[in-house]
Amino acid sequence: MSSATLIASGVLALVGLAIVLWANLVPAERLAARTAKRVGLALPAEPLRDRIVRRTRSTRRWIANCGALGLLLTLGGVLLGVTAGWIPDPEVALSWLALGGIVLGTAAGALLGVLTDRPQLDREQPRVAHAQHTSLRDYLDPIELVGARIVVALGVVAGLTAAFTPGAAATSMGVTAIVLAAVGMLSLVVLELGGRRIVLARPRPAASAEALVWDDARRGDDLRTLVTAPLMTGLYAFVIGLPALSTAIPRTGVDQTVALVLVNVGFYVLVLGLLAVLALALARQPARFYLRRLWPEVAAQAATEAQAAPNTSHAEEAEVRDRRAERKSGQTTR
């Protein structure tokens, strides 16, 4: 095993440690405030606030710890593969597989966070529930949900091509593409089954509409953690499997030069397409998708408040300026 592999493994292990330390040391209140901002809600008053803060801390810890565990297990697997001679060039495979391990670990962590959460039900208090059936489509933006399925399908095509192209399966890139395609499929199954049967099916006792909207926010956040895994691993599998595709195309009778041009053009079109989708996804604020879909009136109110916020801050700034000016003029008079 080369020293470069050991150094890369050490750096990745430190990244895992940093993730765990971050999730366990950052104050829970700050995590909850960050979550509230992302999901477009204000942190509520006690006692709901305390429950949200505790749940946020618990989820973050599960996600971070399982993500770090996924990373360490991947590192161990890669190092074992290197020792066994399955991965000839580990420097290439290591970082990609490590990222795959992290996202699969975080998805498992999100599910464990939901499973270990014990919602409390006060039988003396009124209870509120949705009158309509809710599904994954109510919590995940179609860009994410449909995108994950498409990207995993592309990754599987690339992985299968790598697996059945003579020579490709023996290379580090080929092995990485195959493993990532398999992880992509696994994480898509985790999303489809775990998302429906665990995240959405768990009871959601809520004593008020505010508690219910926060519950939806938490569910949306958990499902977004789950959808990230197939999105990323499928994409990595496709990108890593592209060289295998480029070697497979000439076998279909297409000229090798044409095949290379096709693969290169395809790659750049893919990158441009991905950037466009990413920009669109960010502009649509996918973390607040559940709000627009399930709570349109709350989303409208949040939008109005967001529009008013800059005016408020301008007014505050103006007030500060006025006070400074008053102080200055007072000093001059004296």
Partner 1 sequence: MTLLTIDPASAVPPFEQLRVQLLTQMQEGTLAAGVRLPTVRQLAADLGIAPGTVARTYRELEASGAIETRGRGGTVVAWSRDAGERRVQELASQLAAAAREHRVSPEHVRTLLDAALGA
Distance, CA of 213 to CA of 217 (rounded, Å): 6
Q: What is the C-alpha to C-alpha distance for residues 122 and 130, in angstroms, rounded to an integer?
A: 18
The CA distance from 233 to 239, in Å, is 10
- For partner 1, the closer of residues 127 and 284 by Cβ is 127
Shortest reach from residue 37's CB to partner 1, in Å? 22
Q: Helix 90-116 to helix 48-84 angle, to the nearest 10 degrees?
A: 150
User: Is 82 within 8 Å of 4 (Cβ atoms)?
Assistant: no
Residues binding partner 1 (CB under 8 A): 121, 123-134, 201, 203-206, 209, 212, 294-296
Q: Cβ of residue 142: shortest distance to partner 1, in angstroms? A: 19
Residue 215 or 221 having the CB closest to partner 1: 215
Shortest Å, Cβ 82 to partner 1: 48
Of residues 19 and 211, the one with the C-beta less far from partner 1: 211
Q: Which is nearer to partner 1, 209 or 309 (CB)?
A: 209
Closer of 281 and 303 to partner 1 (Cβ): 303
Place of tokens 């309509």: 132
Shortest Cβ distance from residue 128 to partner 1 (Å)?
Answer: 5
Q: Kindly tell me the burial class for residue 64, based on how many C-beta atoms sit within 10 Å of its own C-beta (0-12, 13-18, 19 or more).
A: buried
CB of 186 to partner 1, least distance (A): 26
CB of 205 to partner 1, least distance (A): 5
The CA-based angle 223-226-228, given to 5 degrees, is 110
- Exposed, middle or buried: residue 129 (CB in 10 Å: 0-12, 13-18, 19+)? exposed
State which residue, 82 or 200, has the beta carbon closest to partner 1.
Answer: 200
Which DSSP letter does residue 269 get? H
